[in-house]
């Protein structure tokens, strides 16, 4: 899951998890249900267009939120969103592919409170949410979840009404929905508003109590209540959380950062044992159980680093690098998720010579977007080589758009300033702001700050 991982994604490629098209689909005339079954060549790329199509066809909308920098989205595109199961989904829904880096995508992410990528949100034809699936999932988990949402057809408000009536399953689903939105306090407040009898029944259900502990963890982290966060994280980690374990480990690491070394070591050592077992049983196997192998590796390395065990930290990264290279062979184009995992492992291991050899291969394998020229240029700049970084950043700028255009421009400006080319830096800012307008104010502010610094 990309919820916690997304915080560091731009720097390391960690979290969660993404490939969005920025074409505008136009719709005309009445669309019958049979037209959905015709496997049209393109999905709507705006939510409004998808909703209009859904109203005409009386079908639900499946919104696929992703982005070209989202490694988890690469996994989904390659391994899950294809085959007969996906064709069946396309036949009964209107699929909308929404780019997080576009203005329309950013606006809908804010409206629907999408906090991580990839995210799959199901709406009815009136725009009411029926459910969502967070982050990358293997196909044997993704399709049962999606089909359950589509079959039930319940909006969130309807589920809340069922929870009021004592439905434990509805209660768990609503709590999970709050977790997916990053709304810890709101979820806990909603549960507290249920009748005492309903809460008493729900508290006997392990799925409900696990969601409650996760919401308590989220709320405590937001409130910077580290003792409560650590206690909640330990309860969650003691439960059956499957492939979400690395993300909770990240939260425990964050909450325990200021503990005295001896106390932190005592807290983390059991989790180190659990993560090593997790890697052996779920990740370093012929067919990994978890879609997000990267987070498991990086979280384990982070635990090793926190424990001061540099040997174990290097060993887990070396193991991941070797295993990934073996799976990739010399073809970097057949599985972008796997290829990008290799990049991140090399970054984390500080194996810069190997990274410099890898980047040109990634650029050649994926020539149609800005991502790898940008990542390589940024990497070189951050290692003090602005002169080598600038041509790569300019190459990335030719293919950047929307939010990522501003991100690329920020590093172009930094490189130009490092090379004492202030006038050129000012020209970049002027041109990019004219192209983008005032969309993405946070990124605009960062660009202006880079120019002034």
Average pLDDT over residues 77-86: 94
Query: Residue 439 has what pLDDT?
Result: 86
Residue 4 has pLDDT above 60, yes or no: no
Confidence of residue 187 (pLDDT cuts 50, 70, 90): very high
Average pLDDT over residues 280-305: 95
Q: Please give the residue that has the higher pLDDT: either 192 or 8.
A: 192
Residue 306 makes CB contacts below 8 A (sequence gap 6+) with 253, 256, 264, 268
Confidence of residue 3 (pLDDT cuts 50, 70, 90): very low
Query: Residue 325 has what pLDDT?
Result: 97
Query: Residue 386 has what pLDDT?
Result: 98
The predicted-structure confidence for 13-53, as pLDDT tens digits, reads as follows 333 333 333 222 322 232 223 333 333 446 887 899 999 99
Q: Can you list the positions of beta strands (E) in 89-217?
A: 94-99, 119-123, 129-134
The predicted-structure confidence for 413-448, as pLDDT tens digits, reads as follows 999 999 999 999 999 999 999 998 878 999 999 999
Is 68 in contact with 77 (CB distance < 8 Å)? no
Query: Residue 25 has what pLDDT?
Result: 31
Comparing CA positions, the residue from 444, 412, 403, 441 lying closest to residue 20 is: 403
Average pLDDT over all residues of the chain: 89
From residue 364, give the alpha-carbon distance in Å to each of 19, 42, 321. Answer: 17, 26, 20
Q: Which residues pair with 96 in a beta bridge?
A: 63
From residue 162, give the alpha-carbon distance in Å to each of 97, 198, 367. Answer: 31, 10, 50
What pTM was estimated for this model as a whole?
Answer: 0.82
Helix (H, G, I), strand (E, B) or coil at 124: coil
Average pLDDT over residues 95-100: 94
DSSP letter (8 states) at residue 283 = I
Q: Which CATH architecture best describes the domain 1-153?
A: 3-Layer(aba) Sandwich (3.40)
Query: Residue 450 has what pLDDT?
Result: 96
Query: Residue 388 has what pLDDT?
Result: 98
Confidence of residue 222 (pLDDT cuts 50, 70, 90): very high
Query: Residue 58 has what pLDDT?
Result: 87
Domains of the chain, residue spans: 1-153, 369-453
Confidence of residue 62 (pLDDT cuts 50, 70, 90): very high
Average pLDDT over residues 325-340: 94
Confidence of residue 6 (pLDDT cuts 50, 70, 90): very low
Q: How many CA atoms lie within 13 A of 258 on its CB side?
A: 6
Report phi then psi at 320, rounded to 5: -65, -40
From residue 41, give the alpha-carbon distance in Å to each of 35, 95, 419. Answer: 12, 12, 47
Comparing CA positions, the residue from 202, 227, 320, 1 lying closest to residue 190 is: 202
Residue 57 has pLDDT above 90, yes or no: no
The predicted-structure confidence for 355-407, as pLDDT tens digits, reads as follows 999 999 999 999 999 999 999 999 999 999 999 999 999 999 999 999 999 99
Query: Residue 301 has what pLDDT?
Result: 98
Comparing CA positions, the residue from 399, 406, 397, 402 lying closest to residue 429 is: 406
Query: Residue 2 has what pLDDT?
Result: 42
What are the strands of the beta sheet with 129-134, ordered from one edge? 94-99, 61-66, 119-123, 129-134
Q: Which residue has the tokens 């939010």?
A: 403
| Conformational region of residue 437, where left means phi above 0, alpha means psi within -120 to 50, and beta covers everything else | left
Query: Residue 34 has what pLDDT?
Result: 32
Average pLDDT over residues 246-263: 97
Is 401 in contact with 435 (CB distance < 8 Å)? no
CATH class given for the domain over 369-453: mainly alpha
Q: Which residues pair with 63 in a beta bridge?
A: 96, 121
* Alpha carbon distance 116, 66 (integer Å): 9
The predicted-structure confidence for 124-164, as pLDDT tens digits, reads as follows 999 999 999 999 999 999 999 999 999 988 888 899 999 99
Confidence of residue 56 (pLDDT cuts 50, 70, 90): confident
CB-neighbour burial class of residue 453 (10 A; exposed 0-12, middle 13-18, buried 19+): exposed
């Amino acid at each position: 899951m990309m919820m916690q991982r997304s915080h560091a994604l731009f720097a390391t490629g960690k979290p969660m998890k993404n490939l969005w098209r920025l074409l505008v689909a136009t719709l005309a005339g009445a669309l019958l249900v049979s037209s959905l079954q015709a496997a049209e060549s393109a999905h709507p790329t705006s939510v409004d267009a998808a909703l209009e199509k859904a109203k005409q066809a009386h079908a639900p909308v499946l919104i696929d939120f992703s982005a070209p920098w989202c490694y988890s989205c690469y996994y989904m595109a390659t391994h899950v969103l294809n085959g007969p199961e996906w064709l069946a989904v396309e036949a009964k829904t209107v699929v909308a592919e929404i780019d997080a880096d576009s203005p329309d995508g950013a606006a809908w992410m804010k409206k629907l409170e999408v906090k991580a990528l990839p995210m799959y949100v199901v709406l009815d034809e009136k725009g009411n949410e029926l459910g969502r699936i967070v982050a990358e999932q293997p196909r044997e988990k993704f399709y049962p979840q999606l089909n359950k949402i589509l079959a039930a057809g319940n909006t969130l408000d309807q589920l809340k009404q069922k929870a009021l009536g004592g439905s434990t399953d509805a209660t768990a689903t609503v709590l999970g929905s709050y977790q997916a939105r990053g709304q810890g306090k709101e979820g806990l407040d909603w549960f507290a508003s249920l009748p005492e009898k309903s809460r008493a029944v729900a508290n006997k259900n392990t799925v409900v109590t696990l969601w409650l502990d996760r919401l308590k963890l989220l709320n405590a982290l937001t409130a910077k209540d580290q003792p409560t966060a650590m206690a909640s994280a330990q309860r969650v980690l003691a439960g059956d959380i499957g492939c979400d374990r690395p993300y909770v480990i990240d939260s425990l690491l964050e909450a325990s950062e200021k503990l005295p070394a001896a106390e932190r070591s005592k807290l983390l050592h059991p989790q180190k044992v659990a993560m090593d077992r997790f890697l052996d049983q779920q990740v370093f196997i012929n067919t990994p159980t978890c879609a997000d192998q990267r987070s498991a590796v990086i979280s384990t390395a982070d635990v090793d680093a926190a424990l001061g065990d540099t040997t174990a930290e290097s060993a887990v990264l070396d193991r991941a690098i070797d295993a990934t290279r073996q799976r990739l062979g010399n073809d970097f184009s057949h599985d972008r998720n796997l290829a990008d995992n290799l990049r991140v492992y090399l970054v984390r291991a500080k194996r810069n010579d190997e990274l410099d050899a890898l980047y040109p291969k990634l650029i050649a394998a994926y020539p149609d977007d800005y991502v790898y020229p940008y990542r390589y240029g940024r990497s070189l700049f951050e290692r003090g080589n602005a002169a080598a970084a600038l041509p790569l950043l300019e190459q990335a700028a030719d293919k950047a758009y929307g939010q990522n255009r501003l991100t690329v421009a920020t590093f172009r400006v930094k490189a130009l300033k490092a090379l004492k080319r202030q006038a050129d830096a000012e020209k970049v800012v002027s041109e990019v702001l004219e192209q983008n307008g005032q969309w993405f104010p946070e990124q605009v502010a960062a660009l202006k700050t880079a120019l002034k610094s």
